[in-house]
Every structure is written in C-alpha cells, then in structure tokens.
Chain A
Amino acid sequence: MLNFVVKRLILAALVTSAVLLISFSLLYLAGDPAASIAGESASAADIQKIRELYGFDRPMLVQFFDWLWHALQGDFGQSYFFKMPVADLIADRMTVTLTLGVSGMLFALVTAVPLGVIAALRPNSMIDRFALFLSVMGQALPSFWFGLMMVVLFAVRLNWLPASGSETWMHFVMPTIVLGYYAMPAIMRLTRAGMLEVLGADYIRTARAKGAGPARVVVKHALRNAVVPVVSLAAVQMGFMLGGSIVVETVFALHGAGFLAWESISRNDLPTVQALILIFSCFYIAFTFLSDLLNAWIDPRIRIG
C-alpha cells in the first residue's frame, strides 16, 4: 500500500508541474498586461513606464522561474488589478467556492443516493423512471440557463430567495441546486448500478434468508458495500465541480474564486488567473488522489496495478 501511495504521489507531482508549465506559457501568450494595469485613461507613455516598472520586458524563461520560485513559497505575486497579494485574494474568495462546492456535493449526494437506492430496489417502477428522467435531464440542462430561469422564478416572480450575493445561507440555495444538479446524474447511476449488483450477490440473499428485514438489508448490507465507489466518484466530481463553479458563480454573482477567475480573465489580471488555474488543478489532483486511495483500500487488486 505504501508503495502505491508513493507512486501516486509522484504522479500527482508530475501532473502538477505539467499543469504549471502549460498555464504559464498559455498566459505568457497573452502578451503584455501593462495597458490593463494603467487603466482606461492612461497614455502610451504611462503604459511604457508601467511596463518597465513591473519587468514585463524580461525574457519568458526568466519570468517563469521567477514566478515558479515564488509560487513554491506560496507567493503568487500581486494582483495587477487589486494591488494585493494574489494568495490573500484567493484565500478570501475560496471560502465561498468551497462552501458552494461542499453544499452542492451534499445536495447531489442527499438527492442522488436515495433515488439511486430506491430505483435499484424497484427497477422499472415509476420512481426508477423518474430518477432516470432526472439524470437524463441533468446532463442536458445548460447550467447557466437553468440558473437564470431559477432567478426569474424564485427571486423575481416569487421573491422567495435573494437573486445574488453570498451574505446568508439563503443566498446559497439556488447556486447549490444548480451546481449540485450537475453532479447528480453520475452519482445516481453509479448508486443504482452498484446497488443492483450488490443486491444480486450471495451474501445479501443469505442475509435475507436469515430473515433480516428489507430496510436492514438495504442499509446495513447492501448500501454499505455500494457506497464506497460512490464516495470515490464524489471525490472526483468534487474536483470537477469546483472548476465548474465559474459559470454558476457568474450567474449568481457569488464573489467566489470562480467568479474571480472570470473577472480576472476579462481584466487581464494574469497573476490571478495563473494562480487560479493552478489551484483548481491542484484541487482536482488532490481529490483524484483521495479517490484512488479509497479505491485501492477497498480493492487490493488496484494496488498492484
């Protein structure tokens, strides 16, 4: 197991460095951000001044290693736009994104797992079909459109929920549903498939034969076995979701890291964009790593491969 963990850690480190290099060279292409720093009413001479002050006239590799050296120490430089350390900025915004990610994932699990279980218990029933219907819909619904429609209905028409902001838990209701809905189908399908498989297994039949009640069978025996791959999938989905929160945060004007990413892209705030790509990637890598460990722990065959 230790061997496996070390191997995976090395892989994760390699992937991280590849992402690092790609994101830097990508944004280097963006050219010179001096004009965006100077703002709307700066003259050409002002911009040239700023260019020299910030060192944008140095060669690419010099800038890359300079950035890398500082990034390794947790210093992602100054945001061109906010004139404050990018690390502080992101730390501040990340709370909203993580809250959203965690609540979205909880929403997905709380709705998808029971639906998947019931669907597996009663294959081809109304509930099974409804669950399937939901999951098919979920895959096809454009999240930004879904979000806008919810704003029209719940914020404007019914006035039940606030349309934007992140001050109270009420503000998170709609974004949570929109983001969580996105992760639901996969989790539900996996729960259903896992449950069907487990329910057909010998030990469940044995448990039933021994006279265990249906609820007991489902919860104690079947679900326990079906849930581990679901948790592992949820971990991977979590990584995707954080990356996907950019659209949801923009629609609901949640001041999280995703929204910051979108704004920073439009503002040519390169240090922030670089750091965000890196951080979202690292989240994904970390969650995948956890998921791998979880899988290896329950299925020893994986450890060898």
Chain B
Amino acid sequence: MKYPVQSVKRLLVLGGLAVAAVPVGGFGHAWAGKADDTLKLAFTKELQSIDAYYNSAREGTIMDQQIWDGLVYLNPLKGEFEGNLATSWAWLDDTTLEFKLRKGVKFHNGEAFDADDVVYTLDFVTNPDNKITVPQYVSWIKSTQKIDQYTVRILLNKPYPAALNLLATMIPMYPNEYYAKVGPSGMALHPVGTGPYAVTELDPGKHFVLKKYAGYHDGPKGQPSIGTIDVRTIPDVNTQIAEMFSGNLNFMWGVPSDQAEKLAAMKRFTVVNAPTMRVGYLVMDAAGRTGKDNPFTKLEVRQAVAHAIDREAIVKSLVKGSSKTINSACYPSQFGCEQDVTKYPYDPAKAKELLAKAGYPNGFTTDFYAYRDRPYAEAMLAYLNAVGIKANLKMLQFSALTDLRMKGEVPFSFQTWGSSSIDDVTAITSLFFTKGLEDYAQDDQVNAALGEGDTSVQPEKRKAAYSKALKRIADQAFWAPLFSYNANYVFTPDVAYQPTADELLRFYKMSWK
C-alpha cells in the first residue's frame, strides 16, 4: 500500500500556513440591534433557574434585577439606599425594621402589589421546607408581619447590619397569588415580577427574551429604554467575540483582559473596564487542620509566602485594568476594611530567609488548590517555586474545592470572593474568620473582634472592632491578600451604558446612541 506522502506534506504545509496567517478579518456588517430595538447579550454560564431564590450565580442576580424589585434599591453611584417597592423604612429597634409600601404597583400579570406579597414571599423563602438554594440571604429574618395593606415589619434574629443590602439586591418580591399557584418550578418557566422587564420567551439555561414592561412604576431604577433584550448562553468567550464580529451580539461582559485589550485596539467596539468588589487571596492552613506538622502553621512560612509573590507584576501583566494590589482581608471600599495593616512587599530574598528561620532552608512541597483564573495560579506557582516552595497545582471546580475546604483537607489555596457586592466586611471577613468550617485560622482573637462588630449597629464601634480583627489577620498572615479584580464590558458602538462596580448589569440603564 502506498501513501501519497507528497500530498501529505503539501497539505500540512498549506494548512499550517493558512491557519497561522489568519488574523481577525475586518468585515463590515449591518448590526442586528438598533434597527429592530433588540439588544443581544450573552451569558457565559447556564442559569440554574430564573427564580432568584433557586440559583446562586451572578447571572441569576442580574436577571433578578430586571424582572423583579426589592423593597429598597442601592444606588450604585451614590452608594445610598433609595425606596423601591417600599417608599420609606425605619428601624424601630435593633431587630425590627418597618416598611411603608409603594401604592399602585402592578405585577406583569396584573396582580396588585401590597403587604400580602411581601409577607408571603418572605415566609416562603424562610421556610426550610422550600429548600431554597440561597438560605444564607434570608437566614437573618425571624418573621414578617403585615401591619396594614401597605405596611410590613420584618423581625430579625439578631442585629444584622447588612439587612438592607440583601433586601436591595438578593430578596425580590414575588406575587403571592401567582407564586402560591405555580410554585418555584412554574416561576422558573414563566416568571412574573414588578420589574422594568418582563420575560416573554424562556428556554431554561439557554435563551431568555425580555420585553420592556409598559406599566413599570416610577421607581429609582427609572424607565427602561431598549424594547427587547435577548439573552443567550454562549459558554466560550471566543465564540462570543466571534458572534460580536458577525453582528449577532451587541454586548458581552466578563471579557478577559488580554482579549479586551486586543478588542480595544481594534476600535470597533466600546470597551469599558470597571473595578469589582471581588478580591483574590491565598488561604494558608495556620490552624493545622490538614496536619499539626504542616509548614503553614509556622508564622514565618506564611509571611514568606506573602513576600514571595510579585503581586504588582501579576496585576500589571495579567489582571490588568483597574485592579489594585490589596493588603487587608477585604475589599478596600467595604465598611470596616482597615487599610492600615502590616504589608508584605515582594522580596524573594527575605522569603527565603524566613523559610530558613522556620526550619525549611531547602523549602518544602505542598498541594496548592485553585478553582479559577488558572493563569494567575500558575504565575504564583512559579514565584513560590523560586523561593523553594514546590507547589502542586490542583484545579478543581468551585463546589468540589469548597467541599474539600470544609472537610479541612486544603493546606494552601488561591481563593476569590465577590462579597455578593455587599459593601461591608460582614460579607467577607466575618464569613471566613468566625471559626466556621471554612476558617483555616481558627483564631479566638479574630473571632471575638468580628463577633463584636457583627452584632452592633453603631458604626464607630463596628469600625474599631473590625480594625482590630483585620490587623491581627495581617500580622499573623492568615491570608495573603493579593489583588482586587476588574471586569471588562465590550459592546457595539450604538449602545450606551455605564458599568458599575457591583458587577450587576442593569438592562434598564442601557440605551441606543
């Protein structure tokens, strides 16, 4: 049998050339969009359910903002709460919150909004039998009382400073009659809310079509501008970009910095970079949960890790955008995030010295876990290697890693946390340092200080308590805080939109130029 080697070679050469020479073509296109008043947008992740209480993804929170409303609204520019479904509210005491509701609001199906809807929704989601996916958002609620048709009271288990934050973004109000009839599975297929957009077409996980709700109340979100928003799930960023080029997409977000840079250089799309509340950090097993003799139980080792990594270089070359290095175990703008803490600048020589002092002159070997941003993790790997810490990278899915972390089997990991966009350290520091299953410091001093801050409603007292906790965390290098994240938004030139730091897309703020 004879093979046509000549043609094999020729084809290989040709194929290689063709592929290597292919740049991104410049081809004009009529944009689908402005002409038919339809903005096409892509999600990277499939949405579990459009019902806000039965999904835990950022995409879900985004959809929730368009279809439903909360009692209050957090203005992202001013950082202040404004009345939404409630027009005013007041703390009757540390654990009682009273709301006066807006009159004349109607759900997409015509049902009128009043106190019964609020009581029904909150009773439903706080009832453990209903197995909501995000019980942590409502676990602070003890009960809800109807005072009259337009007044409700929410009773708290204990003082909880982030209550209004959650009511604004994570706790939408559902129509009681409709929800009682169809339940979560019906809501997932035919969602009904009071929000600026109503769902007209829905293919679970894949495709959503939202139409402007003509009867939207005049609330703080303002009236929506674009008639139709078409959301598809396209898991791959490259595919999204390809669809942008072919004119089948108007808007993408969460674009990695390298691609965003290239797209910006082409000047065909608007590329906007905005900071986000997500921070990246290294967690080390100071408590010795993975074994009493593990190197991270030694303070010098933890400090060596912090000194070993060139965070500036990682931010400059990889993370890019508006990202900054951070030194404290929280996002700088968060309430209580003390900035005056011990800092660990890049200093490999000092790192080696510290390792030797801890009894590891030749370094050591450890497992290093991560669940996202593999390039960053790999870059850190090389820095650690340079001072003698040989880390074996283990990339896991988020859920798998969380599971391991809670079992106490993760000596060293690269974590990130977005604080659910809540501008308060309760959403991050208090979550990970209060001796829970995900706490690898298990430090009594930190725990006590945080407990003091979490149960007080006096700002000055809280600030002082958090400052104490964060200083101790930095001194002990329980975490090695790395950097804040940023997000890139890319859209066609006919779209006007101003992204916000809370990483929540607001379809109702988008318009055509």
A and B are interacting partners: yes
Binds A, one of B54-62, B102-110, B378-386, B494-502: B54-62
Query: With an 8 A cutoff between CB atoms, is A136 at the interface?
Result: yes
What's the least CB distance linking B14 to chain A, in Å? 13
Q: Which of the residues A133, A164, A252 comes within 8 Å of B3, measured between beta carbons? A: A133
Query: By the criterion CB–CB under 8 Å, are A40 and B403 in contact?
Result: no
Query: By the criterion CB–CB under 8 Å, are B243 and A162 in contact?
Result: yes
| In the complex, residue of chain B having the shortest beta-carbon distance to the beta carbon of A30 | B400
Number of B residues near A (Cβ < 8 Å) is 58
Query: By the criterion CB–CB under 8 Å, are A35 and B185 in contact?
Result: no
Digitize A268-290: 1 where CB-to-B-CB distance is under 8 Å, 0 elsewhere.
10000000000000000000000
Query: By the criterion CB–CB under 8 Å, are A36 and B399 in contact?
Result: yes
User: In the complex, what residues of B have CB within 8 A of residue A38's CB?
Assistant: 56, 133
Query: With an 8 A cutoff between CB atoms, is B87 at the interface?
Result: no
Distance A84 CA – B203 CA, assembled complex (angstroms): 13
Query: With an 8 A cutoff between CB atoms, is A267 at the interface?
Result: yes
Query: By the criterion CB–CB under 8 Å, are A151 and B239 in contact?
Result: yes
Digitize A31-48: 1 where CB-to-B-CB distance is under 8 Å, 0 elsewhere.
111111111111111110
| In the complex, residue of chain A having the shortest beta-carbon distance to the beta carbon of B206 | A255
Q: Which of the residues A37, A43, A163 comes within 8 Å of B246, measured between beta carbons? A: A163
Query: By the criterion CB–CB under 8 Å, are A82 and B243 in contact?
Result: no
Query: With an 8 A cutoff between CB atoms, is A159 at the interface?
Result: yes
| In the complex, residue of chain B having the shortest beta-carbon distance to the beta carbon of A44 | B437
What's the least CB distance linking B163 to chain A, in Å? 16
Query: By the criterion CB–CB under 8 Å, are B49 and A83 in contact?
Result: yes
Distance A124 CA – B2 CA, assembled complex (angstroms): 8
What's the least CB distance linking B504 to chain A, in Å? 15
Query: With an 8 A cutoff between CB atoms, is B79 at the interface?
Result: no
* Contacts A44-B406, A84-B204, A255-B205 given; does A39 touch B188 at CB 8 Å: no
* Contacts A44-B437, A149-B19, A266-B397 given; does A31 touch B403 at CB 8 Å: yes
Query: With an 8 A cutoff between CB atoms, is B13 at the interface?
Result: no
Number of A residues near B (Cβ < 8 Å) is 52
Query: By the criterion CB–CB under 8 Å, are B48 and A136 in contact?
Result: no
Query: By the criterion CB–CB under 8 Å, are B246 and A159 in contact?
Result: yes
Digitize B204-217: 1 where CB-to-A-CB distance is under 8 Å, 0 elsewhere.
11100000000000
User: In the complex, what residues of B have CB within 8 A of residue A153's CB?
Assistant: 18-19, 22
What's the least CB distance linking B68 to chain A, in Å? 18
Query: With an 8 A cutoff between CB atoms, is B7 at the interface?
Result: yes
Q: Which of the residues B8, B27, B239 comes within 8 Å of A253, measured between beta carbons? A: B239
User: In the complex, what residues of B have CB within 8 A of residue A268's CB?
Assistant: 397, 399-400
What's the least CB distance linking B56 to chain A, in Å? 2
User: In the complex, what residues of B have CB within 8 A of residue A132's CB?
Assistant: 1, 3-4
Q: Which of the residues A32, A155, A255, A267 comes within 8 Å of B403, measured between beta carbons? A: A32
User: In the complex, what residues of A have CB within 8 A of residue B18's CB?
Assistant: 153
Query: By the criterion CB–CB under 8 Å, are A155 and B246 in contact?
Result: yes
Q: Which of the residues A33, A41, A44, A133 comes within 8 Å of B134, measured between beta carbons? A: A41
The 8 closest A-B pairs by CB, nearest first: A39-B56, A36-B399, A44-B437, A163-B242, A164-B239, A35-B403, A35-B402, A129-B4
User: Could you show 23 A-B contacts with beta carbons less than 8 Å apart?
Assistant: A35-B403, A36-B398, A39-B57, A40-B398, A41-B56, A42-B135, A46-B139, A84-B188, A130-B4, A133-B11, A149-B19, A153-B18, A155-B242, A157-B22, A159-B29, A162-B248, A165-B232, A165-B234, A253-B235, A255-B205, A263-B235, A266-B397, A268-B400
9 more A-B residue pairs beyond the given contacts A40-B57, A44-B406, A159-B245, with a C-beta to C-beta distance below 8 A:
A42-B135, A133-B11, A156-B24, A156-B25, A159-B25, A163-B243, A165-B234, A252-B239, A268-B397
